[in-house]
Amino acid sequence: MNIRIDERKPGVFVVSLGGDLDMSSSPQVRDMLLPIFRRKVSHIIVDLSEVPYIDSSGIATFVEALQLSRKGQVRFSLAGACRRVESIFDLAYLKNIFEMAPDLSQLIGGERDR
Amino acid sequence: MTLPDFKGPVILDIPADPLAMFIVRALVDKISAKIGFEPRQTDKLVLAVDEACTNVIRYAYKSAGDERIVITFSIGPDCFEISIRDFGSGADPQTFQGRDLNDIRPGGLGTHFIKSAVDRFEYDTPPGGGMLLKLTKFLPAEEKAQN
């Protein structure tokens, strides 16, 4: 699993993932993603465009992040999920619980990268 | 494309290691697509078998890495059967109950994913210990006849 974290503008973090998000990689993603909520942050976006597969452990990581986001009043979004990943969120009845955008640009709009 | 006329089942004997699960997923994906299941149904079957195997690793083997999982794929005249055999401590059937999906919290989704992918879900405790989980999905034409 490749994980990259960029602060695109002050307080706006993009976490880009690459590879299957499963039982072998979810702990690593969890360890990288959840500490961001302790930083000075207003919005965390997870870019899933390079994630071809997610299982229940990956979903659990995002549910945990969602709970932290609600507690800390941080916006938390998922971007670029492929058909398979989106259908797994749907199967878990979670598609409408998360803010999901077709691609990253829709969430960060015309913001310039730092 | 038509399904090859297999003589007997396909058996995958694999380490009970999360890093090996991509092999299981790839095989289920290929067989399911070849059978003719729709992409969404194939996705569900891939997820179901993956979740069943990760349950074995987590609960039956307590994440110890030197055990085996034996998966048998059988394609009958009317159904696709996937049997998942472990030799672990024997999972508590209560762990197959899943949780209320309205309760948004991490965990507890695996069983829901398994049950929603298949038409029949059975488990047995065979002689020699461990657990045998059998997942059955009717073939596409049979599925229409069943509904």
CATH number at residue B96: 3.30.565.10
Closest Cα in chain B to A65:
B106
* Beta strands at B68-75 and B79-86: parallel, antiparallel or unpaired: antiparallel
**Cα–Cα distance between A12 and B15 in angstroms, integer?**
41
Q: Tell me how close the Cα of A82 comes to any Cα of chain B, in angstroms.
A: 12
Contacts of B39 in chain A (CB under 8 A): 83
Using an 8 Å Cβ cutoff, are A70 and A40 in contact?
Answer: no
> Between chains, do B54 and A23 touch, taking CB under 8 Å as contact?
yes
Q: Residues B47, B53, B54, B55: what is their CA dihedral angle, to the nearest 10 degrees?
A: 110
Residue B5 lies in a domain: no
Quote the number of domains for chain B.
1
Q: Tell me how close the Cα of B7 comes to any Cα of chain A, in angstroms.
A: 31
Residue B4 lies in a domain: no
List, for residues B96-143, the tens digit of each pLDDT value: 666 666 666 666 788 889 999 999 999 999 988 899 999 999 998 755
Closest residue to B40, CB basis, from A63, A87, A93: A87
Residue B107 lies in a domain: yes
**Cα–Cα distance between B103 and B51 in angstroms, integer?**
20
pLDDT score of A95:
87
Residue B2 lies in a domain: no
Q: Domain residues of chain A, as ranges?
A: 2-105
Burial of B14 (0-12, 13-18, 19+ CB in 10 A): middle
Q: Please give the model's pTM, rounded to 2 decimal places.
A: 0.87
Residue B87 lies in a domain: yes
Angle between helices B39-55 and A56-72 (to 10 degrees): 90
**Complex ipTM:** 0.85
Strand order in the sheet with B120-124: B10-15, B68-75, B79-86, B131-138, B120-124
pLDDT score of A101:
95
List, for residues B58-89, the tens digit of each pLDDT value: 888 987 768 999 999 999 889 999 999 999 98
Tokens of A78: 């998922």
Interior CA angle at B90 toward B89 and B95, to 5°?
Answer: 125
Return the closest-CA partner of residue B121 out of B131, B129, B130. Answer: B131
Tokens of A37: 């909520």
> Between chains, do B104 and A94 touch, taking CB under 8 Å as contact?
yes
* Beta strands at B68-75 and B10-15: parallel, antiparallel or unpaired: antiparallel
For residue A36, count other CB atoms closer than 10 A to its CB: 17
Q: Which superfamily does A2-105 belong to?
A: STAS domain (3.30.750.24)
Q: Average pLDDT, stretch A65-88?
A: 96
Strand spans (E) along A10-74: 12-18, 43-50
Q: Tell me how close the Cα of B65 comes to any Cα of chain A, in angstroms.
A: 12
Using an 8 Å Cβ cutoff, are B25 and B43 in contact?
Answer: no
Interior CA angle at A1 toward A57 and A29, to 5°?
Answer: 45
Contacts of B105 in chain A (CB under 8 A): 63, 67
Residue B1 lies in a domain: no
Full residue range of the structural domain in which residue B127 is found: 16-146
Return the closest-CA partner of residue A57 out of B84, B18, B123, B26. Answer: B18
Q: Which of A1-10, A50-59, A72-81, B83-92 has the lowest mean pLDDT?
A: B83-92
> Between chains, do A91 and B47 touch, taking CB under 8 Å as contact?
yes
> Between chains, do A92 and B44 touch, taking CB under 8 Å as contact?
no
List, for residues B19-64, the tens digit of each pLDDT value: 999 999 999 999 999 999 999 999 999 999 999 999 999 888 987 7
